[in-house]
Amino acid sequence: MKIQTYYNHIRFYNPHHFVYYPILTIFLAASIYFAFTTSDTLIWLFISVGFIFLFCLAFMLRQHYALILQNRIVRLELRYRYFTLTGQRFEEFEYKLTDDQLFALRFAPDDELLPLIEDALKNNLTGDAIKKAIVHWRADYNRV
């Protein structure tokens, strides 16, 4: 596996992104084509709607449950790391940080975490700005 950085931290799931979606897109395009070129318009429109439904459902469900759980785990990890480093509870001011900021902070190593938290609170840094400010990237190879 490559060393993870800001520039390559986005992941793809090959069977889903490069097999399922392309095949579904081809089937959807074919059903729309047949809906307008055959005499069985109604059945092909119904099939097209079915493919659109499958496309949307797959897209939504693909990450919904995993991301909710993963977001909770990232929060717990940050709370634990903050408590380990400071002996204080992170929850006391965690609400001042957006999800984007919290999820970006997980890439910061322990020696950069506290200054980045202070900077994010003081200057309202975006998640992307936090990621760019990290000097020694702490990889997250298990993010969905």
Q: How confident is the model at residue 140 (pLDDT cuts 50, 70, 90)?
A: confident
Give the per-residue pLDDT at 12.
Answer: 79
The reported pLDDT for the residue numbered 105 is 97
DSSP class of residue 4 equals: P
Domain ranges of the chain: 14-133
List pLDDT tens digits, range 59-114. Answer: 888 778 788 889 999 999 999 999 999 999 999 999 999 999 999 999 999 999 99
Residue-averaged pLDDT of the chain: 92
The pLDDT of residue 1 is: 67
Residue 3, token pair as written in the block: 């060393």
- Token pair listed for 14: 């090959």
User: What is the average pLDDT across 118-130?
Assistant: 96
CA distance 106 to 109: 8
**Residue 14, burial from CB neighbour count under 10 angstroms (0-12, 13-18, 19+):** exposed
Note the pLDDT of residue 15: 85
Average pLDDT for residues 113-128, to the nearest whole number?
A: 96
pLDDT of residue 108: 96
On the question of pLDDT at 23 being above 90, the answer is: yes
> pLDDT exceeding 70 applies to what percent of the chain?
99
Of 11-20, 48-57, 87-96, 98-107, the least confident: 11-20
